[in-house]
Structures are given as C-alpha cells and as structure tokens.
Structure 1
Amino acid sequence: MPRSASRLLSPSRVRLGVQAAYAIFLLYAGWRFVLYVRWAMGETEDFVPKPPSVEGFLPISALIAFKRLLFTGQWDPVHPAGLFIFIAVLGMAVLLRKGFCGYICPVGFISSLLARLGARLRIARRTGPRVSRLLSLPKYLLLAQFAWISVVSMDVESIEGFLLSPYNFVADTRMLQFFLAPSPTALTVFAVLGVASLVLPYFWCRVLCPYGALLSLLARLSPVAVRRDPAVCVDCGRCSRACPAALPVQRLERVSSGECVGCTECIAACPVDGCLSVTAPGKRRLPAWSIAAGCVAVLLVTWGAAQALGMWESPLPQAMVRRFHMMLQVGLITH
C-alpha cells in the first residue's frame, strides 16, 4: 500500500472518521426526533416522522423484547428498530469483538476525546492488568442486576405488560427529555464521569457500562483478533501503552480478552512491521481497517434487511402514539 494511503487508513484516522461520521448522523437523527416530539406533544401540527434509529438508545427495552422474541417468536411492535439494532450489536460482538464500542457507540466517541484531552493535559494514568480486571467488576455486577430485574425475573406475561405499557411507548421521548433538561444531580454525575475519564481513560466504558459488559462476554467468541508474532517482537511495550483497554498486548500471542474493542491502536503503535496484525480463523491476516468496515457493514445490512421486511418502523397508529405523548405532557405517565 502506498505510504499516503497507509497514513489515510491509519487506525486512529479510520476510528476517528467512523466515530465522527456516526456522531454527525446521530445529531441529525436527534434533531429530527426533537421535531417529531414537538408534534407528538401537541406543540405543533407539522408532522415529522420519528427517526427509528433513536430506538438504539433503549437497550433495556430491546433486551426485554429480545427475550419475548426468543420465547414467543413475536417482534416488538413498539420499538422494532431498537430490537434490530440490539441484535446487530450482539452479532457485531460475536463476529468483530467489541467493535461497537470502538467505532459506533457515541459514549465511546466522547470517551476517546476525553482520553486524548487527558493525555494532552498529562493527567491520564494507566493501570496494570490486575487493577484493570478489578475495575471492570462493577459493570459486570450492574449487568447481572439489569439481567435479573429485566429478564430473569420477568415472565412472558410481565414482558408483554411492560412492552405495551404507556411508559414504553414514550421511553425514547423520556430519554430525550432527560438529556435536554438534565437535573442538577445528573449534571453532577456527568461532570464526575468526565473528570474521571480524563484521569482514567475510558472510565465509563471500562468500569461502569453494563452494555459493554454484555458485549465483552460475547466478544470472547469472536474469531477475529489481534495476534502478536513473538519471533519478531522487540518487547518495547508500545502496543500495551497504546491500548485503550490497558491490555498487556506485549505479553499475549492472541488478544482474546473480551475487553478488546478492535481499535487496532496497538498495531499502529508497533515499530516492527508485521509483528501485530488482525487475523481471522486459520491465522489469515486481515487489513487493520477490516473491523471498522465490518461494523459499518453489519449496521447497513441490518438496516437494509429491516427495511426489506417492512419492520424498521413501528406499525402502530401515530394517533395512538401521540395520545400517549399527550398523557406524558400532562403528567399522567411518570414511569
């Protein structure tokens, strides 16, 4: 590959490009969603269709709907796109490690920007493998709690009741209201998380994110991984220092940890050509950008399949959805 093309497709540029592109898309979808909510709340009669992609911010609802799908074979009619996105993200983890966290997740994008800022300010601190494992425990405990409350303890009848409840109909709008007008407590929590992310890079992702914990468990099944060739490794440690998950890459022959987000920053940092590479089954080498391309492809294929099946948008009457929003407006829906 020509040197100019190699620089253009460097892991940092590819990752930042995909993250920025998806962030811009989400900002556009968010703006359209605000216009939709204004109509749904009766603030205007100018109807703007709801962008289904915003349902991707409802992973708990999607998790519950996924259990319903497994037990009954019925698709979620309230937030169908959310269920499609959830399944796509699970599949992405199995195929491409935690590529969702590394390239798609907006919180991951914000975390990467804060990590860069912390490094520039020289306040970022690294943790060793043992400390990193201990720090990851809270997110697994949170995952277990959410799984118990939202899935294990709910039978099909309870799931039906939740998915068709007035609250679930307006859950995405409630989410929007939370971010547009956060409480003082929420602002304080955001500030603490932001400062913590400057000192401990990717604090939320590594310590507290239950969604990431679920993906970590599935990512262990991924056939794609970064491999190190011990025969040419010079043990400089640059790969380990570049890893956002603080994995000891220089001591591993295959980076099989569920915490790997597939960012390939370790490959970019390595001074020895061919020492580190992304590999498929059979140790077949892939381009460093293949995980990023695969993640984008999974989302596009999922969207295309949902559109072809006519299941990307909710089939429920807009008049009924608007009625629930009117109830929310006057305080009849609080939870």
Structure 2
Amino acid sequence: MGIFLISVLLALLFGRIYCGWICPIHTVTRGITWIKKKLHIKSFRIPVSLTKPWVRISVFGLFIALFIFIMVSGKQLPVLPTFFSIGIIVALFFPEELWHRYLCPYGALMSFPARKAKYAMDIDPGACNSCGRCMRICPAKAVEKGEHHYDILKKDCLVCMDCSRGCKQKSIRYRTEAR
C-alpha cells in the first residue's frame, strides 16, 4: 500500500507510472493480451454502458467505501485480491482498456494527479504523420485523434511507452510539458 500511496504523489510529476510499470494487474493483463494475440483470440467489444463516467465513479466509490469500512471495522477483507481477480477476468474476455480506463479504482484515483503531471508522453506534431498506430496499440486507449494530429490524454496514459516504441516516425517521447 505504501508503494501505491507514494505512486499517487509521484503521479503529480511523472503521470501514471505506477499503472504502466509497477501495477501487478497491468503486468498480468499484458501477458494475457499477448497470449490472446498469438492464439488469434478476439476480445468481446466493450459494452457502451461500461464506458459511461458513472461506472468509473461507482467503482471508485465502492473502493473508497470498502477502504473506509475496513479502517472503521478493523475487518480484513480481500479487496486487493478481489480487484486483481476481476482485472484478470476482464482481460480474458475484453480489451485491456476496459480495465485500465473504465474499471480500475487505482487508475481512477491516479487520473486526478496525472492531469497535472509535469512529465508526460507527448506527440511531436511536426514529426507525426497521423498514421494512427499509437492509437491502435495503446492498452488504455489514451491516444485520441485531434484536429491535425494525435494527442495523448495524460489522465488516461499508463506511461507504458508502447506508443513510443511502436511509432515508426519516432515522434512520441516522454518529456516535460514545456512545448
């Protein structure tokens, strides 16, 4: 829990690095996604109802309510193993983005400080040829098409570097927001 709390504070500077580099659910879902790709297993489409903001807020609210209940009652509930199991089950049937962007309570919490992160993944519009590869490979679907080029949403970006590694134009870098 200490690592997670420090990561929330670090998200103010570096974005959601916990999500992309430390999170055990992300680590396992990446493996599941890799296996599904190698075996040509298609994921179900994400139901539109699960992409509504109230779903993320509800899951986050449930997480906070459970945390408060545990603190007040002193009872030990398997909250973290339960969320881990749910994340794995979601990854087995749906694209990773369902968990990362819409259901993960940690991601919801980290999205707030990540909005103000000093460092973030950034696309150089002068080098970007708008091929859309970054958008297709982002596990959190944090890349969106802007009017003239693609943009990365800091609040949703896992800072996993998949977009940077996949960009043939080398137009995506992790850098300070001083552009």
Q: Same fold (TM over 0.5)?
A: yes
1:281 is matched by which residue type in structure 2? Answer: E
Unaligned runs of 5+ in 1: 1-55, 57-81, 180-185, 284-335
Of 235-244 and 119-128, the range deviating more from structure 2: 119-128
Structure 1 position 227 matched with structure 2 position 122: yes
1:102 corresponds to which residue? 20
Q: Name the SS for the 2:173 alignment partner.
A: strand
Q: Name the SS for the 1:279 alignment partner.
A: strand
* Distance in 2 between residues matched to 1:139 and 1:91, nearest whole Å: 21
| Bigger proportion of residues as helix | 1
Contact 2:142 2:153 in 1 (8 A): no
Match of 2:60 among 123, 143, 160: 143
1:88 corresponds to which residue? 6
Unaligned runs of 5+ in 2: none
* Distance in 2 between residues matched to 1:121 and 1:87, nearest whole Å: 37
Contact 1:98 1:262 in 2 (8 A): yes
Structure 1 position 237 matched with structure 2 position 132: yes
* Distance in 2 between residues matched to 1:204 and 1:240, nearest whole Å: 17
Contact 2:15 2:119 in 1 (8 A): yes
* Distance in 1 between residues matched to 2:33 and 2:49, nearest whole Å: 16
1:217 corresponds to which residue? 112
Q: Could you tell me how far 1:261 is from its partner in structure 2?
A: 0.4
* Distance in 2 between residues matched to 1:230 and 1:126, nearest whole Å: 33
Contact 1:97 1:260 in 2 (8 A): yes
2:177 corresponds to which residue? 281
1:115-154 to structure 2, matched below 5 A, reads 115-125=33-43, 134=51, 137-147=54-64
Q: Name the SS for the 2:152 alignment partner.
A: coil
1:161-180 to structure 2, matched below 5 A, reads 162=72, 167=75, 171=76, 175=78
| Bigger proportion of residues as strand | 2
With the length of structure 2 as denominator, give the TM-score of the two structures: 0.76
2:166 corresponds to which residue? 269
| CA-to-aligned-CA distance 1:260-303 (integer Å, 9 cap, x gap) | 00011111111113x221121323xxxxxxxxxxxxxxxxxxxx
- How many residues are treated as equivalent by the alignment? 173
1:284-299 to structure 2, matched below 5 A, reads none
Contact 1:126 1:246 in 2 (8 A): no
